Structure 1
Amino acid sequence: MKALISIDYTNDFVADDGALTAGKPAQNLHAKILELTKQATEQQDFVVYAIDRHTIGDEYHPESRLFPAHNLAGTNGRQLFGALQAYYEKTADQANVYYMDKRHYSAFAGTDLDLRLRERKITEITLVGVCTDICVLHTAIDAYNLGYQINVPEAAVASFDAAGHAWALQHLKNTLGANIIEEND
């Protein structure tokens, strides 16, 4: 069994009016992320929505000093972007679909993600979402350290920092041994 981990593809990170939006580069991923999510769900792969969750006034969280408030619990900004939200709602009760809150960049930090993957005997993960050089990268680093095989479809990751995005793809490939899947692969 394989897993698709969809990272932070929410209104706050993707929509034009999002609190910490990656804008057009992230919006351009929508069709590919939706396609990969549908494919993984239909194949009965484990589909994980790893979504950043913050609360108003959390002065102890280090991101509160680095970024504007974003992905606040109970807000529209935390909803999945575009048709992905409706697709999630349609499939949420399936045993192979898991929506999880995360508090840190990595989907593994302080969560039960590793346990859920291992109990399903998953060794190969595909990462999609935003931001390539922040949450996708940190999730990949933890996945590498935990021994997972990592795939990253280039057409399904983006950042608000083009240079950071390009650097992260190279780092994922050359340092973490991730399989960077190009659109024509």
Structure 2
Amino acid sequence: MIKTGKDSFIEESKKTLEEIYEMLHSLKGISLLKLQKEKTALVMVDLINGFTREGALKSSRVEEILPSVAKLQKACLLNDFPILAFADSHSMVSPEFESYPPHCLAGTSEEEIAEELQQVGGYQLIRKNSTNGFLEEEFRHWLKEHDKIVNFLIVGDCTDICIQQFAVTLKTWFNKENRKSRIIVPMDLVETYDLGIHNGNLVHVMALYNMIINGVEVIQSVEV
């Protein structure tokens, strides 16, 4: 239930949004080389054809971050940072299609990593059948096998869905284990889509804010 009238809700929200906007623009960046490669991994989430160039959920907003992500990916590869790449991959019976249009079907070009990132290479591919990559057994196995990794740079899409779910779940998992971690999300390397009432700018900002209040380290950018 919304416990206020429409006009009051909009007016109060406007003030809050202004404060969140200013807070996000005041955030600083970090240098990649100041992160210890023995403790840090790059995670690229759903930078695949089905969210960039084809299909029901393709978005030019997401496509536009590909060159910058490829630049960071290349720097991580040259400096021996582990790299993971999640890729949505569904069958036609996926219950997820009750919430989203059919997308990224297994065996189609939609589930393939974007060409720019394929050309750089150096990543371990993990296909996922939900919006939250943390739930995949292959990732949980990777996490166990790389128990010295406590810093994660998370880039990709969508800010308000797969990025937010993975980042917050990963952070709360480390909290549960009583282990300090840095779950880092660069604002310039995550994006979402516009579709009907799904206002890309609004949900992008609110997702960044929600991650911050849940302990995720949102930053402006990564210097490479």
Report the secondary structure of 1:73's partner residue: coil
What TM-score, normalized by structure 2, do the two folds share?
0.72
CA contact (8 A) 1:30 1:82 kept: no
Listed as ranges, the matches of 1:1-185 within 5 Å are 1=38, 2-15=40-53, 17-21=54-58, 23-55=59-91, 57-58=92-93, 61-88=94-121, 91=122, 97-120=123-146, 121-147=148-174, 148-160=181-193, 161-173=200-212, 175-183=213-221
**What's the % identity of the aligned pairs?**
26
Partner of 1:94: none
Distance 1:71 1:136 in 2: 17
Question: Root-mean-square deviation (CA), in Å?
Answer: 1.7
Distance 1:42 1:183 in 2: 19
State the 1:184 CA deviation: 8.0
Distance 1:110 1:7 in 2: 13
Alignment CA distance shift 1:42-1:118 (3 Å): farther
Distance 1:38 1:113 in 2: 22
CA contact (8 A) 1:53 1:101 kept: yes
CA contact (8 A) 1:29 1:155 kept: yes
CA contact (8 A) 1:19 1:77 kept: no
Amino acid at match of 2:220: E
State the 1:140 CA deviation: 0.8
Distance 1:78 1:115 in 2: 22
What TM-score, normalized by structure 1, do the two folds share?
0.86
Structure whose alpha-carbon radius of gyration is higher = 2
Aligned pairs, number: 172
Distance 2:126 2:95 in 1: 20
More helix per residue? 2
Distance 1:13 1:184 in 2: 23
Report the secondary structure of 1:152's partner residue: strand
Distance 1:39 1:18 in 2: 30
Report the secondary structure of 2:126's partner residue: strand
Segments of 5+ residues of structure 2 without an aligned counterpart are: 1-37, 175-180, 194-199
Partner of 2:32: none
CA contact (8 A) 1:51 1:99 kept: yes
